[in-house]
Amino acid sequence: MDSLFNSLVTVLVVAAILLAAVVFLTSRLRATARAKENIEGEEKRLFGFLHHLGQAIEEDYSSRKLFRVIVDGMEEVMDSEGAALYIVSQDGRALVPAHLSKGCPPLSALSEEQRGRIGSDPVGLTSHLRLTNIPVGEGILWECLKSGGPMRVRHLLQTGSRLDDGKGDEALLAPVTHAGRDLGVLAVVGHPTNRRFGAKDYEVFLSLAEQTSFALGNSIIHQEAAEKRRLERELRLASEVQRVLLPAADPEPPGYRIHGTNVPARIVSGDYYDYIELPSDHFGVAIADVSGKGVSAGLLMATCRSALRSLAAASDSPAGALAAVNRQLFLDMREDMFISMAYVILKNGSDTLRLARAGHEAPLMYRKESGEVEILKPGGLAIGIDEGAVFERVTRDFETKFSPGDCLLLYTDGVNEAENRTGEEFGRKRLREVFLEAGGLGAEAAVDRLQEELQRFVGDHQQMDDITLIAIEKR
């Protein structure tokens, strides 16, 4: 009987052990299956995030869709309570909310006034957060960006500075950088069940932050490239418009031979020259140089051209015409801009010319009879410096003899200030020497010779300023 009882006990013990083993193995298998399912689900969400990220970059460079895909995808993959992406403002003085998921808790402290205004309205909180920049140096987001590495924040904000029920006060933060440039900060906040982020969560978050940095960096490169192409198209269009404003061909007023050229240093030039037919057999030749370079100088040049053309016919005095232009432009010109200009009026059949110089480079006159070059230096003030009284007192007409074979040279400072590779300037002395040799060859030959000598002097050194030349030959 005892042996039978012992055998029964042994059988029961073995059965219990086997049952426990079966239960253990079954639970392990179920846990393994759940873990596998979780991993597969996590991988699926992660690949989904990367897929949508790639689609957003490929389809839309406006950034808004990309920001939304990043934040919403981050929230889904991390199974978090909220996610946010803040971007560094262009001036670097604030973090701007690029996108925050609905219900994302605050990532910066709320003032008493803000809490009172928002109340307990979650929609109002989200709206406030999406519209509020974080000033430089304030809060954990700037701390993360400054540290240059990821951060785990156990207690996101102090009690009373958020509007939720205390869930999800743990946050993972990572700076978003590309090619050494700080782009912003990425954050995920808590879990709906209030569990802590584990080591696996942290690894996934770092991977997502890395992909976000790559995506935003490439998006910025695409945006900048697109913007550069757009600007280049606009500059080319502006250049084409500007070329239309310059003379299409040299004029042929009776008794004179005129040749002019303009070589811009950039796509848009700040130099200007023009030929204007005037009443009573008069003819005007203008050359000007707007301070500065690029589009702003080009726009002011076009305005100056329009003003002179509309006002020139009212006066046979070069100084009078320049005074009228100065009065018209002065009020609309920035304080740091001005225009130097020289304006010549010729009269058919006359052996004299009249000249006014508004702060411009002194013209050179080649005299055929003496074989010498004179520097014509009448006084004058640049346009845009004085409203009118001082300008008109110092800017006067200058009249000089203009005999057959003589040649007048008008030029901008891009000629004499042209530099070679060693930094040496072409200079007024060299300009005068070249013109002494070329002035007797006629207007077109003189300009061509000057351009050849300039090119020989400068060599392959970059042109730093616009170059404009006009030669007027008396025939």
pLDDT digits (tens, 9 = 90+) for 256-282: 999 999 988 776 667 889 999 999 899
Q: Any idea which of 123-127, 222-226, 284-288 has the lowest mean pLDDT?
A: 222-226
The reply to whether 5 falls in a domain is: no
Does 255 share its domain with 216?
A: no
Sorting pLDDT into bands at 50, 70 and 90, what band is 67? confident
Per-residue b or e along 281-290, where b marks 16 or more CB atoms closer than 10 Å to that residue's CB:
ebbbbbbbbb
The reply to whether 183 falls in a domain is: yes
Task: Look at residue 51 and tell me whether its pLDDT is greater than 80.
Answer: no
Are 100 and 82 in contact, with CB atoms under 8 Å apart?
yes
- Pick the more confident residue, 16 or 231: 231
Q: What pLDDT was estimated at residue 65?
A: 81
Under DSSP, is residue 458 helix (H, G, I), strand (E, B) or coil? helix
Are 183 and 88 in contact, with CB atoms under 8 Å apart?
yes
Are 364 and 374 in contact, with CB atoms under 8 Å apart?
yes
Task: Look at residue 132 and tell me whether its pLDDT is greater than 70.
Answer: yes
Does 256 share its domain with 165?
A: no
The count of other CB atoms within 10 Å of the CB of residue 395 is 25
The reply to whether 210 falls in a domain is: yes
Once rounded to an integer, what is the mean pLDDT over residues 388-401? 95
- Pick the more confident residue, 76 or 296: 76
Q: What pLDDT was estimated at residue 460?
A: 86
Q: What pLDDT was estimated at residue 238?
A: 62
Nearest to 338 by CA among 395, 370, 299, 297: 297
Task: Look at residue 103 and tell me whether its pLDDT is greater than 60.
Answer: yes
Does 407 share its domain with 334?
A: yes
Angle at 439 between CA 434 and CA 443, to 5 degrees: 120
Q: Name, in order, each residue with C-beta under 8 angstroms of 72's C-beta and a sequence gap of 6 or more.
A: 83, 101
Q: Name, in order, each residue with C-beta under 8 angstroms of 132's C-beta and a sequence gap of 6 or more.
A: 97, 108
The reply to whether 2 falls in a domain is: no
Task: Look at residue 52 and tell me whether its pLDDT is greater than 70.
Answer: no
Does 258 share its domain with 405?
A: yes
Task: Look at residue 313 and tell me whether its pLDDT is greater than 70.
Answer: yes
Are 420 and 457 in contact, with CB atoms under 8 Å apart?
yes
Could you give phi then psi for residue 152, rounded to 5 degrees? -115, 120
- Pick the more confident residue, 469 or 163: 469
Report the CATH number at residue 344: 3.60.40.10
DSSP-assigned beta bridge partners for residue 398? 355
The count of other CB atoms within 10 Å of the CB of residue 305 is 20
Helix intervals (H) in 197-293: 199-245
* Range among 59-73, 236-250, 362-376 rated most confident: 362-376
Does 263 share its domain with 368?
A: yes
Does 364 share its domain with 426?
A: yes
Task: Look at residue 371 and tell me whether its pLDDT is greater than 90.
Answer: yes
151: tokens are 């951060």
- Pick the more confident residue, 80 or 402: 402
The reply to whether 240 falls in a domain is: no
Task: Look at residue 135 and tell me whether its pLDDT is greater than 70.
Answer: yes
Could you give phi then psi for residue 272, rounded to 5 degrees? -155, 140
Q: What pLDDT was estimated at residue 392?
A: 95
Task: Look at residue 43 and tell me whether its pLDDT is greater than 60.
Answer: no
Does 287 share its domain with 423?
A: yes
Tokens 């305005």 sit on residue = 303
- Pick the more confident residue, 466 or 238: 466
228: tokens are 């550069």
- Pick the more confident residue, 326 or 301: 326
pLDDT averaged over the chain? 82
Q: What pLDDT was estimated at residue 242?
A: 65
Does 110 share its domain with 43?
A: yes
Q: What is the pLDDT of residues 153-198, one digit of tens each?
A: 876 654 333 434 444 468 899 999 888 889 999 999 876 666 678 8
What is the secondary structure of 386-408 as a DSSP string?
Answer: SSSHHHHHH---EEEE--TT-EE
Sorting pLDDT into bands at 50, 70 and 90, what band is 339? very high
Q: What pLDDT was estimated at residue 239?
A: 64
Separation of alpha carbons 153 and 351, rounded Å: 88
Task: Look at residue 7 and tell me whether its pLDDT is greater than 70.
Answer: no
Q: What pLDDT was estimated at residue 27?
A: 53
What is the secondary structure of 236-263 as a DSSP string?
Answer: HHHHHHHHHHS-SS----TTEEEEEEEE
Task: Look at residue 217 and tell me whether its pLDDT is greater than 90.
Answer: no
Q: What pLDDT was estimated at residue 456?
A: 94
Are 259 and 443 in contact, with CB atoms under 8 Å apart?
yes
Report the CATH number at residue 48: 3.30.450.40
The reply to whether 47 falls in a domain is: yes
Q: What pLDDT was estimated at residue 289?
A: 92
Does 218 share its domain with 315?
A: no
- Domain residues for the domain of 152 are 38-224
Among 224, 241, 259, identify where a domain stops: 224
Could you give phi then psi for residue 49, rounded to 5 degrees? -60, -50
Does 317 share its domain with 452?
A: yes
Q: What pLDDT was estimated at residue 159?
A: 35
- Pick the more confident residue, 268 or 16: 268
Once rounded to an integer, what is the mean pLDDT over residues 122-130? 81
Sorting pLDDT into bands at 50, 70 and 90, what band is 294? low
Sorting pLDDT into bands at 50, 70 and 90, what band is 368? very high
Task: Look at residue 36 and tell me whether its pLDDT is greater than 80.
Answer: no
Among 209, 224, 239, identify where a domain stops: 224
Q: Any idea which of 141-150, 165-174, 221-230 has the lowest mean pLDDT?
A: 165-174
Among 207, 224, 241, identify where a domain stops: 224
Does 277 share its domain with 211?
A: no
Separation of alpha carbons 331 and 350, rounded Å: 37
Q: What pLDDT was estimated at residue 287?
A: 97
Separation of alpha carbons 397 and 384, rounded Å: 19
Task: Look at residue 22 and tell me whether its pLDDT is greater than 50.
Answer: no
The reply to whether 75 falls in a domain is: yes
- Pick the more confident residue, 249 or 102: 249
Per-residue b or e along 342-365, where b marks 16 or more CB atoms closer than 10 Å to that residue's CB:
bbbbbbeeeeebbbbbbbbbebbb
The number of distinct structural domains making up the chain is 2
Q: Name, in order, each residue with C-beta under 8 angstroms of 367's C-beta and a sequence gap of 6 or more.
A: 373, 374, 403, 406
Does 125 share its domain with 51?
A: yes
Q: What pLDDT was estimated at residue 284?
A: 97
Are 182 and 126 in contact, with CB atoms under 8 Å apart?
no
Under DSSP, is residue 383 helix (H, G, I), strand (E, B) or coil? strand
The reply to whether 21 falls in a domain is: no
398-401 β-sheet, strand order: 271-278, 282-290, 339-347, 352-358, 398-401
For the chain, percent of residues with pLDDT exceeding 70? 80
Q: Name, in order, each residue with C-beta under 8 angstroms of 115's C-beta and a sequence gap of 6 or more.
A: 160, 161, 163
Separation of alpha carbons 138 and 143, rounded Å: 8
Nearest to 475 by CA among 348, 385, 300, 326: 348
- Pick the more confident residue, 464 or 314: 314
